[in-house]
């Protein structure tokens, strides 16, 4: 009894927070193509901050495109290949967020978990189709964090075929038109 019968106070290190998984769901339709490409480049640059990054693209249906963004991939070529090779549309080639969310949950139902952060990229313009907010709500609930980056100026949200106000009821939406705004959102996804 080297401590003379006095209990020892163990001092343990604080556990390091686990690196989250990132799930990116990206609208690659014509109206947001430039923003999507910029954001995918940034997400690729942030790979080391996440334990796993999975990228899904959609126009009216969803397909996984993670394999196009491997460590040695030419990102410009990968982005071009999405619209040529990925199964991102099955109908008329116009955005259909509702159908894209449904196809995501049907095909990739095990992707979202309490360890994952969901990042939706798009303008929320549904072409007057069903926005499937109930499906998005399920996706948000299945994730630890969920954020939506919208490249449109806020004053255009909810105009025309935009379903932004309905989506804002279930997910935190951010206007994201600059690298500074994007960095602020990514900061929220990273562990403290």
- Tell me the CATH number for domain 42-189: 3.40.50
Name residues whose C-beta falls within 8 Å of residue 24's C-beta, 6 or more positions apart in sequence: 39, 40, 43, 53, 54, 55, 56, 119, 121
**Domain assignments of the chain as residue spans, ordered by start:** 42-189
pLDDT digits (tens, 9 = 90+) for 2-52: 666 767 766 677 766 667 899 999 998 888 877 777 777 777 766 777 888
Residue 21 contacts residue 34 (beta carbons within 8 Å): no
The Cα-based distances of 105 to 49, 90, 161, 168 in angstroms read 25, 16, 23, 19
pLDDT digits (tens, 9 = 90+) for 47-74: 777 888 999 999 999 999 988 877 777 7
Residue 62 token pair = 């969803």
In the DSSP assignment, the letter for residue 125 is B
């Amino acid at each position: 009894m080297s401590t003379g019968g006095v209990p020892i106070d163990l001092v343990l290190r604080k556990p390091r927070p686990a690196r989250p998984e990132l799930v990116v769901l990206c609208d690659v339709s014509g109206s947001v193509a430039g923003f999507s490409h910029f954001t995918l480049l940034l997400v690729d640059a942030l790979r080391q901050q996440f334990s796993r990054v999975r990228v899904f693209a959609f126009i009216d249906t969803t397909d996984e495109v993670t394999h196009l963004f491997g460590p040695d991939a030419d990102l410009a070529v990968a982005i071009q290949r999405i619209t040529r090779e990925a199964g991102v549309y099955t109908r008329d080639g116009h955005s259909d967020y509702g159908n894209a969310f449904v196809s995501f949950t049907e095909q990739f139902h095990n992707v979202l978990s309490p360890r994952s952060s969901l990042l939706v990229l798009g303008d929320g313009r549904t072409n007057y189709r069903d926005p499937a907010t109930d499906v998005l709500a399920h996706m948000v609930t299945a994730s630890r964090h969920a954020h939506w980056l919208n490249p449109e100026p806020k004053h255009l949200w909810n105009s025309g075929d935009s379903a932004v106000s309905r989506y804002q009821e279930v997910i935190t939406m951010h206007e994201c038109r600059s690298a500074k705004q994007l960095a602020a959102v990514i900061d929220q996804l990273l562990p403290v």
